[in-house]
Amino acid sequence: MSVVFIVFQANDTSRPLVEAIEKDNPHAQVEEQPGMIKINAEGRLVLKRETVEQILDREFDLQELHLSLITLAGNIDETDDEFTISWAR
């Protein structure tokens, strides 16, 4: 498999997203760098709306992730409930 990744700005808005990704993707590796947080994973990364809502204790629209998104690598499969990055077709 190939590595996929997502990179967020290092700010208060992205921290719950990173926490949710870590919770739902135990194979993911988080790299904190000045001004950004990069999350790498072999094969697939998923961000679940439900997990973010549990962390924030409020409703969350997955489109909000774009406010802190810098870049990503992989094919995107996006629904109202999940944002998935993979190289699978």
* Confidence at residue 88, expressed as pLDDT on a 0 to 100 scale: 73
Block residue for tokens 């790498």: 40
pTM attached to this predicted model: 0.92
pLDDT value for 1? 59
Among 17, 63, 43, CA closest to 8: 17
34 SS3 class: coil
Residue 3 token pair: 């590595």
Q: For 3-86, CATH number?
A: 3.90.56.10
> Which residue carries 């990744």 as its tokens?
5
Rounded Cα distance, 55 and 85, in Å: 21
* For the chain, domain boundaries: 3-86
Helix (H), strand (E) at residue 20: helix 15-24
Find, among 55, 8, 5, the residue nearest to 29 by Cα. 5
pLDDT in tens, the chain (89 residues): 599 999 999 999 999 999 999 999 999 999 999 999 999 999 999 999 999 999 999 999 999 999 999 999 999 999 999 999 999 76
